[in-house]
Amino acid sequence: MFSGFMVNAWEVGTMVAIVGGVVGFFVVLRGSAFPAHAIPNGAFAGAAGANLLAINPLIGLGVFSFGAALGIGALSRRGRSDAVTALALVMMLALGAAFVSLSTQYEPQIFSLLFGEILGVSSSDLLPVVALGAVCIVAVAMLYRPLLLTSIAPDIAAARGLRPQRFEIAFLIVIACATTMTVPVVGALLIFTLMLGPSAAAQCFTNRAGRAMAGSVAIALVTIWLALACAYESNWPVGFYVSVFSATWYGIGRGYAEWHTRRQVRAAGDSRRSIALTN
Amino acid sequence: MTDVPVLQVDELSVSLSGRQVLDHVTFDVRGGEFTGLIGSNGVGKTTLLRTILGLQRPDSGRVLVSGTPLSPRSRSLGYVPQKIVVDPDVPMRARDFVALGLDAHRYGLTRRSPPQRELVEQILHDVDAERFADHRLGSLSGGEQQRVFIAHALISRPKLLLLDEPLANLDPRSVQEIVALLHRVARGYGVAILLSAHEMNALLPVMDRIVYLTGGRAASGTTDEVIRSDVLSQLYGHHVDVLQLHGRVLVVAEPGQDNQDIPQHPTLTLG
Ligand SMILES: Nc1ncnc2c1ncn2[C@@H]1O[C@H](COP(=O)(O)OP(=O)(O)OP(=O)(O)O)[C@@H](O)[C@H]1O
Ligand SMILES: [Mg+2]
């Protein structure tokens, strides 16, 4: 389990989890789950297209996810962003379907693009994944405080000269970057769960942003390590395990938050509905 | 230098979707003063504040802050918007949100220095928010959040604090508490306040000046100068009476006149 191609898998998986946790924190905070779902799905079309042209799928993934991010960002200024996002998602899936039907590739390749195939990661995939991952992490670290304020109180941020629209586009680009590196590993349909489950769970356990982000990385790491081990043993797709574990953490997190609130309320001896996690 | 007002609004006209909302509005706010921006719903209070902040482009006229046009990066204005909805799931303590007032514009991760953290404590104390400083922002009541937003705005030491209807949705006691608090911090921090409201009576004890907005036009001055029958009648374009009763003010139109755009309804005021 810890030799040969599995070494690559552990390394890439670790990087993917760190990026998923860091970016996912803001995905949950900003309520960007929908674009975080749409962009990887669009990226799938890019990868299918790259297959068709026999070029590196990473290029197709990159072009399509950045295109999707910029398109969603630009069109959301004019119309309802959920409608725009949904349309972008559907258009790109349709394009992906067209590429797949034109392609002579056999099915497993497509299947792995959708559901992930971390166990087939080669050492030449390592460098781009690490490089793109580093870009994501540095970008989030740079944007951290302005992004916090624009996420929580966009009007106040705007009055201070931080343009919420620009931060929205910047953040969509970060999602695109994270997508490009993670789709070949966990797949287009399931990378989303890695950004969502661990972060949403972590936000139940603490009321401090920094700790929530650290917790989100930690939970994502445990998720992917467990998922890799299980996938290795069972031959089921990694993405399946990632999704199941992510959802489980969230369930545990919600349960903890409920329990904590009830305990607080009882301790305070009143019926206020405040959630005062004090860790 | 000493005589330059912190805010000069000069012949400001603003249209939204082709409809003129503000029509040559002119007034000044001087350093340290408490100014009430009074007008009924939909009269353009939010639009005026957003234009002052540079979030809305005027058709004509200009806004000067300490004698110069507002630059987008300037933090000489603090702002508490009318509506802020914070999800209770957001992992942020009230205290952390106040601290963001210091450095939300900074890129990168920097540690907050001990003096900065002391400043946060001090300001939480000043707005009487220590009790719930460790609670999640989204879990606080409207009145509690109001204090946190005021602290967030004050901590960067603006010259002028703009508050959009901070008293709406508060019970009479909280209204008094927030008004007293604003009066106190305005003095203590030497910050001027421009506060919008649809009801002026709660503000009468603390207001230095009033900007009375109706039909897109404004009258400004001290309360005694503006809240007079002749001034307001001219502004409304029909006769209105100003009644003073138990230290409260009541503006009433003659029977038959439309008094819908009078910012406080008589029955509410006397209640
Ligand atoms: N984007 C917009 N397009 C067209 N008209 C608008 C727009 N935004 C606001 N308005 C109109 O401009 C007028 C002024 O709105 P504004 O929000 O400034 O009023 P307000 O005094 O703050 O009211 P309230 O007391 O209800 O908050 C209203 O009649 C409103 O319908
Ligand atoms: Mg308003």
The CATH number of the domain holding residue B212 is 3.40.50.300
Whether residues B108 and B179 share a domain: the answer is no
Three-state secondary structure call for residue B215: coil
- Report yes or no: B99 at the A interface, CB cutoff 8 Å: no
Do B186 and B142 share a domain, yes or no?
A: no
Q: Which domains does chain A have, with CATH numbers?
A: 5-278 (1.10.3470.10)
Residues B167 and B238 in one domain: yes
**What pLDDT, on the 0 to 100 scale, is given for residue A126?**
80
> Considering the domain boundaries, does residue B27 fall inside one?
yes
CA distance A123 to chain B (A): 32
Which residue has its alpha carbon closest to ligand 1 atom 5? B16
* Contact state of A203 with B73 under an 8 Å Cβ cutoff: no
ipTM: 0.89
Whether residue B83 is contained in a domain is answered as no
| pLDDT of res. B183 | 94
Residues B34 and B131 in one domain: no
pTM for the whole structure:
0.88
Residue B82 lies in a domain: no
Q: Indicate whether B81 belongs to any domain.
A: no
- For residues B60 and B176, membership in a common domain is answered with yes
On whether residue B269 sits in a domain, the answer given is yes
Tokens 């959630």 found at: A275
What separation in Å is there between the alpha carbon of B197 and the centre of ligand 2?
9
What is the rounded distance in angstroms from the CA atom of residue B226 to the CA atom of residue B46?
21
Ordered DSSP codes for B237-261 = TS-EEEEEETTEEEEEEPTTS--TT
Spans of chain B below 70 pLDDT: 1-2, 72-74, 255-261, 263-271
A and B: number of Cβ contacts within 8 A? 103
Residues B167 and B53 in one domain: yes
Helix axes A191-205, A164-186, angle to 10 degrees: 120
DSSP 3-state assignment of B11?
strand
Residue of B nearest to A253 (CA): B89
Pocket test for ligand 1, best of B23, B47, B53 (most atoms within 8 A of CB): B47
A106 vs A108, residue with greater confidence: A108
Mean pLDDT of chain A: 85
Which residues from chain A sit within 8 angstroms of residue B139, using beta carbons? 273-276
pLDDT per position as a tens digit, A221-261 = 999 999 889 988 887 877 788 889 999 999 999 999 889 88
Count of structural domains, chain B = 2
The answer to whether residue A225 neighbours chain B at the CB level (below 8 Å) is no
Residue B42, number of CB atoms within 10 A of its CB: 11
User: Is residue B16, in this structure, part of any structural domain at all?
Assistant: yes
Q: Is residue B246 one of the residues assigned to a domain?
A: yes
**pLDDT at position A278, please?**
45
B53 touches chain A (CB under 8 A): yes
Residue B102 belongs to domain spanning: 88-153
Amino acid A51: pLDDT: 82
Instruction: Look at residues B107, B138, B153 and tell me which one is the last residue of a structural domain.
Output: B153
The residue written with tokens 């003063």 in the block is B33
Nearest C-alpha neighbor of B222 from the set B200, B254, B243, B191: B200
Residue B61 lies in a domain: yes
Q: Is B161 on the interface with A (CB under 8 A)?
A: no
- B169 with B268, same domain: the answer is yes
* Chain A residues in contact with B140 (beta carbon < 8 A): 274
Query: Which pair of structure tokens corresponds to residue A143?
Result: 């944007």
> Do B62 and B188 reside in the same domain of the chain?
yes
Angle in degrees, 0-180, between the axes of helices A5-30 and A123-152, rounded to the nearest 10: 10
Last residue of a domain, one of B119, B153, B187: B153
Residue B180 and residue B49 in one domain: yes
- How far from B159 is each of A123, A149, B265, CA to CA, in Å? 58, 21, 33
The alpha carbon of residue A136 and the mean position of all alpha carbons in its chain are separated, in whole angstroms, by: 11
Do B46 and B31 lie in a common domain?
yes
